[in-house]
Structure 1
Amino acid sequence: MLIFPGRTSFEPMHSTFPRLDIGPLSEYRDDDIMVSRFSDYLQEHQNLVFPHRHSFYHLVLFTDGGGKHTIDFHHFQVVPYQIYFMIPGQVHSWDFEGDVEGYVVNFSESFFRSFLLQPDYLDFFSFLNGDSRQNVVGLAIDIREKIVEQFEELLHQYSQSPVLREDMIRVLLLQLFLTIEQSIAKEERQKSAFHKNAVIANFQKLIDRNFTKHRLPGEYANMLHVTPNHLNALCKEHIGMQAGELIRNRIVLEAKRSLVNLDLTVSEIAYQLNFNDNSYFTKFFKKEVGMTPDEFRKKSAESH
C-alpha cells in the first residue's frame, strides 16, 4: 500500500507525491531497518512499479532478472550483479522482466547517527551522494561472491533476536559500503568520494536545503565564508560545472519530481518552487530542459 505521510527534511514542498516509510514495508514493522530477498519484497509490494519516493535509504542488489529502473529520471537496464542505491527524497520506478532475484535493504536516516562519531560519514560514499548517475554500480567480478555473502549474513542477522542485532547489521552494512567504494576507486572509474572537497560537499548540502530560497552563487559563498569567484573555481575544478549550474540543476530536479505528480498543477509547482509566476517558471524550465513543463509531464506520463 502506498503511503502519503507529511513533509520531511528531504521534501521542501508540500505535495501528495507517494512517499514510502520503512515500517509498513518491514516484516517486523521496524522503523529503522528492513532486510529481505528481493523476490519476497516484490511479491508483497507489487504495486511499487509506479514512481514514488522513500523517506529512507534504499539499496537493491540484483542477482537474476532483467528489465529497467529509473532514478530521478535517469534510466538504467537491470543486469545481474548490479547494485543501486537511493537516498531519501529521490524518485524512482521500475519495470522488471522475468523472475527477478537479489536482496533489498532499507534503513532510516537516523540508523547510523548514534553509532558513528562522524554523523555525515555516509555522505562520503560516492553512491550515496544523491547524484543518480552514480547511484548504480556494476559489481566487479572479484567482489561479487563476497558481496553476496555479506547480504546473506545481513539476512541472517535480521532474523535474529533483537539483542545487538542492529549493531551487527550496521557493521555489516559499513563493511559492504567500504568494499564497494574500494572496488570503485581501484578500477579508477571515478575519484573516490572520500577525497571530495569539503567546501563543495557543504555547498551541495546547502543547495539541497535552500534552493527554493537562495538562487545566487554569491548567497551560498557568503554562507560558506568564501568569495563567489573561489566557489566557482572549486566547482569547475571538482565537478566540471559552474556554481550557478549546480543550483539550477537542483531546482530543475525538484521541478521534474513534482511534475510526475499529476495532482499538482504547473502553477502550484511554480509557487512551491518560489517562482513569481507560472510564465517565469515555464521559461526557466524550457531553457534548462529544452521543453515546457507541460511537455515534460506529457512525455513522462507516456513513458509510464
Structure 2
Amino acid sequence: MARGINAKVKSGTPVYCLDTFSTKAGQLAFYIETLQVHLQKHEMVSRPHRHDFYLVLYITKGGGEHTIDFVTYPVKPGSFFVMTPGQVHSWKLKPGTDGFIFFFVPEFYQLGKDEKHLLEFPFFRSVNPHPYIQLKAGQDAMIDFTIREMLREYNSSGEPFLSLIRSYLDVVLLKLARHYQAEVRTEASHATTIRLRKLEELIDQNFIKLKQPNEYAALMNLSSSYLNSLCKQLLGKTLGDLIQERVMLEAKRYFAHSDLTVSQVSDKLNFSEASYFIRFFRKHAGVTPEQFREQIHK
C-alpha cells in the first residue's frame, strides 16, 4: 500500500503523500502523531498545500485559525477538521496549540470492510464538504480515548496491529458522524442520500470534461429534472450550481496557489476559449481572475 513520494504538481501547490511524513506511514497507508510533534518535524505544513489522502485534525488545547479552500475556521479545544484528498489548507496556530493529526487512504480504511465506503460519512462529501465539527468540553470522552489508543498502537514497539487501528479509526469516524448529523440534519431517505453521494463523486471525478447537468443525469440513468429537483430539495442548489461551484473551486485553487496564467488555467479546466472562462469566473466570483489573485496575495 505504499504511496508515491511528495511532489509539486504543475499547479504550483505542493501535494504531500503519506511517505512524505515517514517511511512507516507510506508502508502502512496510515499515520498518526501529536500535533506539536508533527509541526516540529514537518514545518512546511503551515503553508498552503494539498494531500492525496484523508485527514483528521483534533485540537485539545490552544487556538488559532485553519483555512480550508478559502474558508477560515476557528481553532479551539474540541475542534475537529475532517478533510478529503485534494483540498488546499493552511493554518495559523497560537504557540502551545496541541492535539492529534492522522492520515489514511481509502484502501486502508476499506480493507476488510468492502461493504462500507468512506462516502457514507457525511463530512467526506466531495462537492459540498463541511470539514469543521466543534465539540464542547467533555462532550465525547470516547473519541479522545480512542484517538490516544490509536496513537499508542501505532507507536508500539512491535509491528502495529493494523486491524485494531482500523477499528479505532472506524469508531472515531462513526462518533464524529453522529455529532455532525446532529448539527446538519436532513430529511433525506437513505436511498436519496446514496444517490446524492454518487452524484457528488461523479462531479468530482468528471467536472473538467463534463459541465452539463444532462451528462451527469445520463451517467446515473436518471432524468435531468429529477436529479435537479433532488439537488434543490437537499442542498438548496441546482445541479448546474454544483458543477459550476466545483469548477470555480479548482480555478480559485490555481489562482491562489500557482503562477499559471489565465489562459493556462482555462486550458486546464477545458474551456474552449480564455475569454469565455474569464466571463464565467467573473460571473461567479464578482471579480476577474487577475483581481481575485491580487486580493488573495495582499
TM-score by length of 2: 0.91
1:44, distance to aligned residue in structure 2 (A): 1.0
1:45 aligns with 2:45: no
Which of 89, 92, 97 is matched with 2:94 structurally? 97
Q: Given the superposition, is the C-alpha separation of residues 235 and 17 from structure 1 closer, same or farther in structure 2, using an over 3 Å criterion?
A: same
Give the alignment of 1:140-151 within 5 angstroms: 140-151=136-147
**Contact kept? 1:3, 1:19, Cα under 8 Å:** yes
1:188 deviates by 4.5
Residue 13 of structure 2: aligned partner: 17
Q: Does structure 1 residue 279 correspond to structure 2 residue 275?
A: yes
Distance in 2 between the 1:28 and 1:78 partners? 29
Root-mean-square deviation (Å): 2.2
1:57–1:88 contact (8 Å) kept in structure 2: yes
1:127 maps to a residue whose letter is: F
- How far off its partner does 1:23 sit? 1.0
Shift in CA distance, 16/202, structure 1 to aligned 2, threshold 3 Å: same
Aligned 8 A contact 1:125 1:193 in 2: no
Tell me which residue corresponds to 1:54: 51
Give the SS at the match of 1:99. coil
Shift of 1:238: 1.3
- 1:217 is matched with 213
Q: SS at 1:294's partner residue?
A: helix
What SS does the corresponding residue of 2:66 show, helix, strand or coil? Answer: strand
For residues 22-37 of structure 1, the aligned pairs below 5 Å read 22-26=18-22, 28-31=24-27, 32-37=29-34
List alignment gaps of at least 5 residues for structure 2.
none
What is the rounded CA distance, in whole Å, between the counterparts of 1:27 and 1:164 in structure 2?
14
Between 59-68 and 125-134, the greater mean CA deviation after superposition: 125-134
Question: 1:72, 1:132 within 8 Å by CA — same for their partners in 2?
Answer: no
Q: Compared with structure 1, are the counterparts of its residues 214 and 90 closer, same or farther at alpha carbon in structure 2 (3 Å cutoff)?
A: same
Is there any run of 5+ residues in structure 1 with no aligned partner, and where? 7-13
The alpha-carbon deviation at position 235 of structure 1 amounts to 0.8
2:64 corresponds in structure 1 to: 67
Other-structure match for 1:233: 229
Partners in 1 of 2:211 and 2:184 — Cα distance?
Answer: 32
Q: What residue number does 1:191 align with?
A: 186
Moved over 6 A (4+): none
Shift of 1:170: 0.5
Please state how far the C-alpha of 1:292 moved relative to its aligned partner.
Answer: 1.0
Q: 1:194 to 1:30 in 2, by over 3 A?
A: farther
Residue from 273, 286, 301 that aligns with 2:297 = 301
Aligned length: 292
Work out whether 1:290 is the aligned partner of 2:290.
no
* Counterparts of 2:283 and 2:82, CA distance in 1: 30
| 223 and 130 in structure 1: CA distance in 2 versus 1, 3 angstrom threshold | closer
The separation in 2 between residues aligned to 1:141 and 1:67, in whole angstroms, is 17
| Change in 2 beyond 3 A, CA 1:132/1:73 | farther
Flag the 1:268–1:44 CA change in 2: closer, same or farther, 3 A: same
How far off its partner does 1:193 sit?
8.8
Query: SS of the residue aligned with 1:98?
Result: coil
Mark the CA change 1:193 to 1:183 in structure 2 (over 3 Å): closer, same or farther. Answer: farther
CA distance in 1, matches of 2:43, 2:81: 19
Q: Aligned partners of 1:192 and 1:105: how far apart in 2?
A: 32
Q: Which moved more, 1:70-79 or 1:107-116?
A: 107-116
TM-score w.r.t. length of structure 1: 0.89
Between the aligned partners of 2:187 and 2:161, the Cα distance in structure 1 is: 30
Partner Cα separation in structure 1 for residue 176 and residue 67 of structure 2: 21
CA distance in 1, matches of 2:141, 2:215: 48
Mapped to 2, the partners of 1:58 and 1:99 lie a distance apart of 21
